[in-house]
Amino acid sequence: MPLIVNEEEGPVTILQAWILDCMVRIGEPWISVEKNAYIICQWYDFLRYRGVETLNADESHLRDFLLGGGVRKSNVRSMGSDAQVTGTVTNRNKYRVIVGFHDFWENRHGKSLAVRYGGTLAQLRENAFDRKNRSVSRAEINFSKPENVGAKAEPGTPTLDEGELILEEALNHPNPNRAQTWYLIGSLALRGGARVGGINSITVPRLISALKKERAFKKVAGYAEMLDGYLRPGNRAKIKEILRGMRADRRTFIFCEVRSKGGKLIPLPIPIEVCEELIEYICTFREETKAAFLKAKCRVPPNIFLSNKKRQADGVLTSRAMSNFFNPIFKRLDIDGTIHRLRATFAEAVVRDCYVRERAINGRAWQIKNVLQFASKLLGHDSFESIQDYLNNIIAQELLAGHPVIVGSEENASYLRAVAEKLDDAKDEVFKTALERFFFENGLKPVVEEGRKYSLF
């Protein structure tokens, strides 16, 4: 947890209490808490230089702070209540953090804040600076529109093959312990669609709890004791055997609870194969790291992925550390993307599957809304906006690559792919004639449905 210390005053309790609330009660990712701590420290020093007590700040101070660029020292002061603050993403983020800080003290701890224009900083709405000639306590802060600037290029989405290359490169780490750690982190992102914040929050107890809910484990006498004793070689082997059986039964995922962006617990789909690897990792490489913690007399956190920096971030491998390891690999392999975009690779595959099924079943009558709703549920998205981007990309690819066909098995799919390639060869009339003869000899007739280029087998 970030420790906020002022050279003159020592630890700043009023800020430290809020940071603790962000990490423990809300459960925000470490990197978000760290960024928020920097913002609130700048705000605290800004007020101190102005001779204003932290809880006596009002709308005019916040306006001056943002007009001056959100820095500790600034000579900028608004001459009227209609001075416009540029509505950049940075200003809006600082605004949200500061209002959230004052809301914490007023509404959770009953502190009295300064009132201006009929409201306190804790009572401001996010749109307070958006309309001219209105107090921030009555409308959104007279935000002016920022000047047009060139759009920042978004990282690309790696293909599945490129994702596999990233994982192979992670395994080349000279330390076998770290190699397995990075490989599994990348696997959770690529094959399970996990965010780095979610990966950071996976704990051993939650994974074991998820396994206890599975019917395949409940069938085994004494399954709870077996799972709790996962470190015993016999139990470990039995757990992995049951997981292999679940894969043979065409089960795909184990759902384990992790922390989301907002701090609430959400289910993370962990592929069964990756879950097997996690069990082996927990019993071997994690135990190595755990021993180093105990030797250094450091508390061992319950998280699966531990850091070699035992006294930083409670010894947990942070989201920033994950990004710092993987992003240079993308550059080294000349692959457009980041570790977060590995999740996008998984998400795009899910959306593609939903899209193809919808088109195959409903043909020209397919509905975008059906695709977006189902994919959003599978991926745990609250809105359709990001899903829409994946769908747009898939439709654009389809225009170049042709039309998908759904079949019931992988073996049948391979035959149909070969047939489709032959049919696309305009010069190969012999094959088309042979296919027509095959249809006739087997009593088959082409099923013509106007406007439908998809089939469901």
Q: What pLDDT tens digit does each residue of the chain (457 aa) get?
A: 556 676 677 778 888 887 877 765 556 666 777 888 888 888 888 888 888 888 888 888 888 888 877 777 766 565 555 556 666 778 888 888 888 888 888 888 888 888 776 678 777 665 555 544 444 443 344 444 455 545 556 777 788 889 999 999 999 999 999 999 999 999 999 988 888 888 988 999 999 999 999 999 999 999 999 999 999 999 999 999 999 999 888 888 888 988 776 667 888 889 899 999 999 999 999 999 999 999 999 999 999 999 998 888 788 998 889 999 999 999 999 998 888 888 888 888 778 777 777 776 666 677 888 888 777 776 766 667 767 777 777 777 665 555 556 666 667 777 877 887 787 776 778 888 888 889 888 888 876 655 445 454 4
Specify if 259 maps to a domain: yes
Same domain assignment for residues 325 and 373: no
Specify if 96 maps to a domain: yes
Of 114, 144, 174, the residue at which a domain comes to its end is 144
Same domain assignment for residues 186 and 110: no
As for how many domains the chain has, the answer is: 3
Specify if 418 maps to a domain: no
Same domain assignment for residues 325 and 352: no
pLDDT the model gives residue 363: 65
Specify if 417 maps to a domain: no
Rounded distance between C-alpha atoms, residue 130 and residue 109, angstroms: 29
CATH number, domain with residue 281: 1.10.443
Same domain assignment for residues 316 and 381: no
Specify if 407 maps to a domain: no
Same domain assignment for residues 40 and 112: yes
Answer whether 0.85 is exceeded by the pTM: no
Structure tokens belonging to residue 160: 């599945």
Same domain assignment for residues 279 and 173: yes
The total of other beta-carbon atoms located within 10 Å of residue 295's CB is 9
Nearest residue to 15 (alpha-carbon basis) of 31, 29, 1, 30: 1
Same domain assignment for residues 332 and 346: no
Specify if 230 maps to a domain: yes
Specify if 447 maps to a domain: no
Rounded distance between C-alpha atoms, residue 414 and residue 421, angstroms: 11
Annotate 433-454 with DSSP letters as a single string: HHHHHHHHHTT------TT---
CA angle, 201 then 342 then 189, to 5°: 30
pLDDT the model gives residue 90: 82
Same domain assignment for residues 21 and 137: yes
Same domain assignment for residues 309 and 181: yes
Same domain assignment for residues 312 and 183: yes
Same domain assignment for residues 313 and 165: yes
Of 401, 426, 448, the residue at which a domain comes to its end is 401
Specify if 66 maps to a domain: yes
Chain centre distance of CA 110: 34
333, amino acid identity: L
Range of the domain at 361: 341-401
252, amino acid identity: T
Structure tokens belonging to residue 257: 């609870």
Of 401, 422, 442, the residue at which a domain comes to its end is 401
Same domain assignment for residues 254 and 315: yes
